[in-house]
Amino acid sequence: MKKVAVILSGSGVFDGAEIHETVISLLALSRAGAEYQCFAPNIAQHHVVNHLTGEVTETEQRNVLVEAARIARGEIQDVAQLNAADFDALLLPGGFGAAKNLSDFAFKGAECQIDANVLKACQAFATAGKAAAYLCISPILIPQVYGHGAKGTIGTDSETAKAFNQLGGEHQACAVTEICVDQERKVISTPAYMLAENIAEAAVGIEKAVDQLLAMA
């Protein structure tokens, strides 16, 4: 049975992990007979967003690991404890948490940095030549994880694609129902809700990414 590490960034599209993307990914992994373990950084969220109004709740603070535990049904560990040797592959769902909590891309663009423990974990899979899948906005992490020339997609958004290239990657335009595969680095990406207009559209690309991930694991 293949084992996949899944790194979450909170709970909720505007300030954490995209819940639809995460659940689709976990369901696809389980249906394919794979075992997964969720992880998240034990840090404060950058901010908390009221998902009903879209406004930042200035007086509220939340922890990324605690919030991500909601999606993982409590079965989650600190990403600092993630040992790539224990797993066959890695998967990162999207959501703005990838750009606000796993990194600061949402605020610094191409000058962004990745959380140290997240970067260490992702690079361990890259160094070991183990397959990884990045969904939605999380592929923006790929250039800093894999180095110059790494291929990936966030769909067709020109500004994000430009930043991907400025970070040293080679962005590939991709439809919502398709995947981008960097065969050399064994890294897969798909636009998901960067382009998807509904959960069914998002599921097509995500399920393809999971299938490819397990095939390369």
Contacts of residue 91, defined as CB under 8 A and 6 or more positions apart, other chains included, come to 4, 5, 6, 7, 25, 29, 36, 132, 133, 134, 135, 210, 213
Handedness of CA 30, 124, 173, 11 (dihedral sign): positive
Is pTM beyond 0.85? Reply is yes
Encode pLDDT of 35-85 as tens digits. 999 999 999 999 999 999 999 999 999 999 999 999 999 999 999 999 999
Report which DSSP code applies to 216: H
Contacts of residue 58, defined as CB under 8 A and 6 or more positions apart, other chains included, come to none
Encode pLDDT of 148-200 as tens digits. 999 999 999 999 999 999 999 999 999 999 999 999 999 999 999 999 999 99
Are 96 and 137 in contact by the 8 Å Cβ rule? The answer is: yes
What pLDDT sits at residue 20?
A: 98
Domain extents in the chain: 3-216
Encode pLDDT of 3-43 as tens digits. 999 999 999 999 999 999 999 999 999 999 999 999 999 99
What pLDDT sits at residue 74?
A: 97
What pLDDT sits at residue 83?
A: 98
CATH label, 3-216, candidates 3.40.50.880, 3.40.50.300, 3.90.320.10, 3.30.300.180: 3.40.50.880
Report which DSSP code applies to 63: B
What pLDDT sits at residue 71?
A: 98
- Which amino acid type is present at position 200? A
Contacts of residue 100, defined as CB under 8 A and 6 or more positions apart, other chains included, come to 9, 15, 45, 46, 47, 106, 107
SS3 of the chain: helix, strand, coil, percent, to 5: 40, 20, 40
Encode pLDDT of 106-125 as tens digits. 999 999 999 999 999 999 99
What is the rounded CA–CA span in Å between residue 168 and residue 185? 14
What pLDDT sits at residue 72?
A: 98
215, 212, 156: which is closest to 188 by C-alpha? 212
Residues belonging to the active site: 136
